[in-house]
Amino acid sequence: MRKIKSLLRDPDIQMADVAAALWSVHTTLYKHVGEQRQHCL
């Protein structure tokens, strides 16, 4: 989340770049949580 906030503060960063960073965080989190859920089953 800090990375995304810092990107939003930078006027030279396009929203598409922020969205790409957010997607990266989303997929990383999903992968990690998915792996953890498999261990719990």
DSSP string, 9-27: H-TTS-HHHHHHHHHHHHH
- Are the CB atoms for 4 and 21 separated by under 8 Å? yes
Domains contained in the chain, number: 1
pLDDT digits (tens, 9 = 90+) for 2-38: 877 787 788 898 878 777 877 777 666 566 666 555 5
Give the residue numbers spanning the domain of 31. 1-39
Q: Which pLDDT score is estimated for 36? A: 56
pLDDT of amino acid 15: 78
pLDDT of residue 17: 79
This prediction's pTM: 0.44
Q: Is the pLDDT reported for residue 40 higher than 80?
A: no
